[in-house]
Amino acid sequence: MFRQTKTVLQKLRHLRLSGQQHAWRLKSSSASERALLHQPGQKIHGFTVKQVVAVPDLFITAVKLTHDKTGAQYLHAARDDSNNLFSVQLRTTPMDNTGVPHILEHTVLCGSERFPCRDPFFKMLNRSLSTFMNAFTASDYTMYPFSTQNGKDFQNLLSVYLDAVFFPCLREQDFWQEGWRLENENPTDSNSPLMFKGVVFNEMKGAFSDNERLYAQHLQNKLYPDHTYSVVSGGEPLAIPDLSWEQLKQFHATHYHPSNARFFTYGDLPLEQHLKQIEEEALSRFNHIDPNTQVPSQPHWSSPREDHVTCGPDALAPDPARQNTLCVSYLLGDITDTFEGLTLSLLSSLMISGPNAPFYKALIEPKIGTDFSSVVGYDGSTKEASFSIGLQGMAEEDLERVKQIISQTINDIITNGFEEERIEALLHKIEIQMKHQSTNFGLALASYIASSWNHDGDPVELLQISDNVSKFRQALKENPRFLQDKVQLYFKENPHSLTLSMSPDEAYLEKQARAEEEKLHKKIQDLSEGDKKEIYEKGLELLEAQNQTQDASCLPALKVSDIAPTIALTAVQMGRAAGVPVQFCEQPTNGLVYFRAMCSLNTLPADLMLYVPLFCSVITQMGCGALDYRQQAQQMDLRTGGMSVSTMIIPDSTQLDAYEQGVVLFSSCLDRNLPHMFQLWTDIFNSPRFDDQERLRVLVMMAAQELANGISNSGHIYAMTRAGRHLTPAGELDETFGGMEQVKFMKRIAEMSDLSQVLRALPRIRRHLLNPDNMRCAVNAAPQKMSRTAEHLDLFMMDIAGKRKGPKPISPNIIERPLDALTQPGSGPSRKLISEPHFQPCQMKTFFPLPFSVNFVSECIRTVPFIHQDYASLCILARMMTAKFLHGEIREKGGAYGGGARMGGGGLFSFYSYRDPNSTQTLSAFRKGVDWAKSGQFTQQDIDEAKLSVFSAVDSPVAPSGKGMGLFFSGVTDEMKQSHRERLFAVTHSHLVDVAERYLGMGQRTCGVAILGPENETIKKDPSWVVK
Ligand SMILES: [Zn+2]
């Protein structure tokens, strides 16, 4: 996997500063208290403790250590969170575009000394209860993190990770498979033409066909032109074939050394045990080296620069004539200066985020472009940070104007500064983020500290967020122009800035293809007949190796008996607010109250359905009551942790042709702000401002652009949604709300010159929501806050829902299910589902030609609903087929980035591939997978592994804010979950063969197929396909 700057940036931006809390109420001897007993200077298993610091805001004790013999650095964050995390990061600073750190990241996972089997991460997914396992290549480090709630599992995974990173086999064959190779197009036919193959080669071709990523890559390369940031750490596709196996091994020897490593552990497991294992299994075998991987400071330019790049045209762009991007990027200070980094990231939010920010007003609202450029704001993922501002989706003639607006806006900020209330709102946001508990807090921390620590910044200082915020307040108090002075220094008077524009080139893809052709030709022309014969034989060898059954028995594994036999129960109470059913779930939420309302769409006329996602995305952003949209945004920031509305489709758990449809309101706030939060909801629904066509246009443009950009990252989701479209009524609605149909609809809306038709649709939708007959609410909060919350909710409901009388449902077939499964049907509150008993599933194959170089392929099969006895077998089957067959066929042999099968809650069994060089061949691989399953050529071990993997998903941690939601939304009770659990345990070999035959076999299945990908001659000629 290759992580781009932007992803890192988003991680930082969206950092949730609190984690999940199985043992949240502090025990007498908590993990963080125990860790406080360590003393600086203390020696533990080859390490010396350097520093012990309590960070009470985050409930953490940080222990910093150094490994005596190698100098390896170590940080432990002790916290009463059972979702323990380990990560090791190496500073990897390539000096060419061959993608050596990225290929190495892949290759170390092809087997190691103690665990000489390929793809141990992937195999461990089936032998562990991990809650997260992955590896990332960033611009200047490579990180290997995992998390798990099980102590034994932690030790198992730690062994595998340490061995992979420090003692990998790095066989030549691994390098061919993961990096690049020349091979006959058909490896068994020596006469078929030679071509480039390799997992990373294909992955990067896919990444480079994403214009947003392409732009981000160019921008970084050109802003830091003098060292490692000038190259593509993931690999530039055509430079990848310049890398040799020898160079790869050399890079490992110099970079994957403890002296160049930073270890991080998090959670409630004891530190001593971690240190002992790391010392014994890895570090004791090394001595100190000087890895010499420091990144020097970028020499500052004496004058600003400009540059231009091209990209492929985007067929999905809202307006084909407006596909230019331009942004100005400024080099800032060193990220190891923690306070300066915090100041600049806050400054960046004030300049850019939300409708009150000066750059939003100056750039977004005049509608010069469709959205900010893909790179925008503060980026602290490089040694020296950067700030970027610009637009995408612009006409060429506007480029000059945008440059002027940017410099004018900077002048305006220096003159006017920021309103005090906006600064308060931003600091309130930080307070909420620190209190909100997410399930992956350890991982968020690891990402948060990674970049600064990588350049020897102090990770403990980074954790002391409150101290830095106080310092920030102090600085503002002492100098009211504090922020303006920073803008003057970093933007006005900074000559190290780059203005980069990007425009589409009709011939771009063709040129890329020709360049690859030439590169290939060059490689081939020097080959002798003997060389070619060798390539053919190596290809056969690789194929044979890939076809061999993999013996994974060397890897440690949990047993099915290590899985808890029963689920932990979640207590909820049912009540009412002004007649509307409310589910109360008491949780340790750390002072926050989480509110949800599910509003049925059963009365909404069919012609409005396509508009619902748009309605959801704009309803909280148009202004309401006395507030215009700017004031509304400000109030939401000041008073809440966010307010959102989204579509919801809930397939019935008992029958395939019934589902519930609605929109969900979600918000959170500190309990002192409850009245404000509910007042905002009241105003949003009672008096929304649907009169501002200009505001709507801005929001529509941004939404359409975001959808279009998302396809290259989530193409498999779109393919699966489309493939399932005609199989169930819920599948149909899924496509309407979130499939390609929605993408095209939004593109059409964005192209309309007059939006009055849309403006008329919005209030029509609103009238159907918040009808007390068709609504239910949920509150998650601490026990002592419940009654106060209930009072406010009652008032809110009386204000908003009490006086409404709803229209009649559209569908004649409404069935009711009790909300509280323990009550008799008809006696308590209920959910109202739409049932389509006469629904006829139909088979369809759809192809969407898109300007990509890779495909996303899916086939969906209609099977059974959640409570059916075969459902559990199909879950296990999907997992087992993925691990034991499809992964090998689609990724290892086919060269796709990923692929597999999964069983969905709506009763659809879906096959998919991700960034796949193949299209119709992958459909054959799906079929072969079914034949394999039917043949029963799998072992008890395979089944047990699939069970572990399924359970690690079933038992993944749930944050306090999300507890009880299965019941609230789907009516799935703890008892139903427990029965499903027991059915999963009970799945046997014969069940699996049986369900494969009965549901997936030829003649048995009702299926749909969809492919998104480049022009495809085979499909074009085949009349059984519908080409869009
Ligand atoms: Zn990768």
For the stretch 544-603, pLDDT in tens is 888 777 778 889 999 999 998 998 889 898 888 888 899 999 988 888 999 999 999 998
Candidate from 24-33, 555-564, 794-803 with smallest mean pLDDT: 24-33
**pLDDT, tens digit (0-9, with 9 covering 90-100), for 191-222:** 999 999 998 998 898 888 888 899 999 999 99
- The rounded Å distance from CA 200 to ligand 1 centre is 6
Residue 4: per-residue pLDDT: 35
* 1001 token code pair: 């076999």
Tell me the C-alpha distance between 837 and 860, whole Å. Answer: 21
Residue 702: per-residue pLDDT: 86
pLDDT above 90 for 343:
yes
Burial class (CB in 10 A: 0-12, 13-18, 19+), 470: exposed
Tell me the C-alpha distance between 353 and 10, whole Å. Answer: 13
Residue 346: per-residue pLDDT: 94
Tell me the C-alpha distance between 66 and 279, whole Å. Answer: 12
- What average pLDDT does the segment 844-852 reach? 90
- What average pLDDT does the segment 899-920 reach? 93
- The rounded Å distance from CA 887 to ligand 1 centre is 15
Taking residue 420's Cβ as centre, other Cβ atoms within 10 Å add up to 10
Residues 275 and 46: beta-carbon distance below 8 Å: yes
Q: Is 706 a catalytic residue?
A: no
Residue 303: per-residue pLDDT: 96
Residues 557 and 127: beta-carbon distance below 8 Å: yes
Cβ-Cβ contacts under 8 Å for 478 (sequence gap 6 or more): none
- The rounded Å distance from CA 178 to ligand 1 centre is 9
Tell me the C-alpha distance between 975 and 964, whole Å. Answer: 13
Cβ-Cβ contacts under 8 Å for 997 (sequence gap 6 or more): 934, 1004
- The rounded Å distance from CA 531 to ligand 1 centre is 29
Helix (H), strand (E) at residue 316: none
- The rounded Å distance from CA 122 to ligand 1 centre is 13
Mean pLDDT (the chain) is 90
- The rounded Å distance from CA 102 to ligand 1 centre is 6
- The rounded Å distance from CA 687 to ligand 1 centre is 49
Residues 768 and 758: beta-carbon distance below 8 Å: no
Orientation angle between helical segments 465-478 and 338-352, nearest 10 degrees: 70
- What average pLDDT does the segment 339-368 reach? 94
Tell me the C-alpha distance between 740 and 142, whole Å. Answer: 35
- The rounded Å distance from CA 522 to ligand 1 centre is 26
Tell me the C-alpha distance between 903 and 617, whole Å. Answer: 29
**pLDDT, tens digit (0-9, with 9 covering 90-100), for 960-982:** 999 999 999 998 989 999 999 99
How sure is the predictor about 827, in pLDDT bands with cuts at 50, 70 and 90?
Answer: low
- Residue ranges of the alpha helices (H) in 167-244? 172-178, 199-208, 211-223
Name the residue type at position 899. Answer: G
Residues 247 and 98: beta-carbon distance below 8 Å: yes
Residue 301: per-residue pLDDT: 97
- The rounded Å distance from CA 541 to ligand 1 centre is 23
pTM: 0.85
- Residue ranges of the alpha helices (H) in 37-150? 100-107, 120-124
Q: Is 964 helix (H, G, I), strand (E, B) or coil?
A: coil
- The rounded Å distance from CA 713 to ligand 1 centre is 14
Query: Positive or negative, the Cα torsion across 399, 400, 401, 407?
Result: positive
- What average pLDDT does the segment 876-904 reach? 92
- The rounded Å distance from CA 558 to ligand 1 centre is 27
Residues 915 and 206: beta-carbon distance below 8 Å: yes
pLDDT above 70 for 22:
no
Orientation angle between helical segments 245-255 and 100-107, nearest 10 degrees: 80
- The rounded Å distance from CA 294 to ligand 1 centre is 24
Residue 804: per-residue pLDDT: 58
Residue 829: per-residue pLDDT: 75
What is the per-residue DSSP string for 525-564? HT--HHHHHHHHHHHHHHHHHHHSPP--TTS----GGGS-
Q: Tell how strand 580-586 and strand 775-781 pair up.
A: parallel
**pLDDT, tens digit (0-9, with 9 covering 90-100), for 62-84:** 999 999 999 999 999 999 889 99
- DSSP, res 624: B
Name the residue type at position 533. Answer: K
Residues having C-beta closer than 5 Å to ion ligand 1: 1-2, 203
Candidate from 157-171, 751-765, 809-823, 859-873 with smallest mean pLDDT: 809-823
- DSSP, res 626: T
**pLDDT, tens digit (0-9, with 9 covering 90-100), for 715-762:** 999 999 999 999 999 999 999 999 999 999 998 998 898 999 999 999
How sure is the predictor about 767, in pLDDT bands with cuts at 50, 70 and 90?
Answer: confident
Tell me the C-alpha distance between 908 and 874, whole Å. Answer: 10
- What average pLDDT does the segment 309-337 reach? 89
- The rounded Å distance from CA 92 to ligand 1 centre is 15
Query: Positive or negative, the Cα torsion across 465, 468, 472, 473?
Result: positive
Candidate from 32-36, 375-379, 393-397, 545-549 with smallest mean pLDDT: 545-549
- What average pLDDT does the segment 828-848 reach? 89
- The rounded Å distance from CA 137 to ligand 1 centre is 8
What count of residues does the chain have? 1028
Residue 821: per-residue pLDDT: 63
Residues of the chain with pLDDT > 70, as a percent, come to 95
pLDDT above 70 for 156:
yes
Tell me the C-alpha distance between 175 and 911, whole Å. Answer: 28
Residue 306: per-residue pLDDT: 97
How sure is the predictor about 944, in pLDDT bands with cuts at 50, 70 and 90?
Answer: very high
- The rounded Å distance from CA 256 to ligand 1 centre is 17
Candidate from 85-89, 583-587, 652-656, 823-827 with smallest mean pLDDT: 823-827
Residue 822: per-residue pLDDT: 62
Q: Which of 105, 279, 281, 735 is catalytic?
A: 105
- The rounded Å distance from CA 481 to ligand 1 centre is 45
Residues of the chain with pLDDT > 90, as a percent, come to 71
Q: Tell how strand 1026-1027 and strand 845-849 pair up.
A: parallel
pLDDT above 90 for 28:
no
Candidate from 239-253, 842-856, 871-885 with smallest mean pLDDT: 842-856
- What average pLDDT does the segment 231-237 reach? 94
- The rounded Å distance from CA 1 to ligand 1 centre is 3
How sure is the predictor about 708, in pLDDT bands with cuts at 50, 70 and 90?
Answer: confident
Residue 819: per-residue pLDDT: 77
How sure is the predictor about 826, in pLDDT bands with cuts at 50, 70 and 90?
Answer: low
